[in-house]
Amino acid sequence: MNYVLDRFEGDFALFVGDDENILKLNKQDFLAYREGDVFTLESERLIFIKELTDLRRESVRNRFKKLRRG
């Protein structure tokens, strides 16, 4: 199961899963990460996945480029 860091809210980091399940975890544990970073859940721990994060960011950039072109 993969999760995306959706946002920081108060003392919490909110993650949205592939199944739209929401995790609300301690913000202090994720301050080194940015909104949009992708993680996988393994043994009840979230593990950062750089490759999926990079692919997701590239996809978002391409969508914005298409929108700008009209």
- pLDDT, tens digit, 9 for 90 and up, residues 35-48: 999 999 999 999 99
pLDDT per position as a tens digit, 18-64: 999 999 999 999 999 999 999 999 999 999 999 999 999 999 899 98
Q: What is the pLDDT of residue 69?
A: 86
- pTM equals 0.84
Residues of the chain above pLDDT 90, percent = 84
Does 70 score more than 90 pLDDT?
A: no
Q: State the Cα–Cα distance between residues 44 and 10, nearest whole angstrom.
A: 23
Sorted by sequence, the CB contacts under 8 Å of residue 8 that are 6+ apart come out as 14, 27, 30, 35
